Each structure stands twice: as structure tokens, then as C-alpha cells.
Amino acid sequence: MGLLDFLSDKGEQKPVEPAAKPAAGGTDFFGNSNPAATGETYTVVSGDSLSKIAKKQYGDAAKWHQIYEANKAIIGSNPDHIEVGQVLTIPSL
């Protein structure tokens, strides 16, 4: 059987099944833990900072790093620059 013989095969053809959707959970494609996938969301309001959000959500302002790490793609390289209306993921601890 040659490399392209399947093109001329007139046998029974079956439709291609769609890929299974990944199960909801806290892991990525490689099985690494992804706490952001199981967290809640928070919409930034005027006067917010990551430490204020951490204080509201966790009771500890020093845990702002967890929020930043989960939202680097949204926030960017400067954790001091969050914008009103941004929807941040609050990872569960």
C-alpha cells in the first residue's frame, strides 16, 4: 500500500468524530496544575490595586502575587497597572 492509496480507496467511509472536549478542572493540556482554571473572577473598579483585591478576596494583601501570576496575560509586565473594567481571575489557594 502506497502513501496516497487511501485517496483512491472506495471502501466504507465514516465521518470524522469531533475531538472530545477537555474535562473541566485545574490542569492544562500537559497535566500541569492551573489554579486559575478553578478560580473566580473579579472586575476591577476605580481605586483597586492587586493588593486591595487580594485583601478583599483572601484576607491578606500580601497574596497579590497569586492574582498577578494568574493574570499576567491581561495585566502585562507591570503589576501596578491594572485598568478599570478588567476581568481578573482570582485563583483558589
Tell me the pLDDT tens digit for each residue of 40-72: 999 999 999 999 999 999 999 999 999 999 999
Q: How many domains does the chain have?
A: 1
Complete DSSP assignment for 32-90 = -B-GGGGSEEEE--TT--HHHHHHHHHS-GGGHHHHHHHTHHHH-S-TT---TT-EEEE
Is residue 5 in some structural domain? Answer: no
Is residue 21 in some structural domain? Answer: no
pTM of the model: 0.60
Is residue 85 in some structural domain? Answer: yes
Q: What is the predicted pLDDT for the residue at 61?
A: 97
Q: What is the predicted pLDDT for the residue at 53?
A: 97
CATH number at residue 70: 3.10.350.10
Is residue 2 in some structural domain? Answer: no
What domain range is 78 assigned to?
35-93
Is residue 81 in some structural domain? Answer: yes
Mean pLDDT across the chain, nearest whole number?
A: 79
- Whether the per-residue pLDDT at 22 is higher than 70: the answer is no
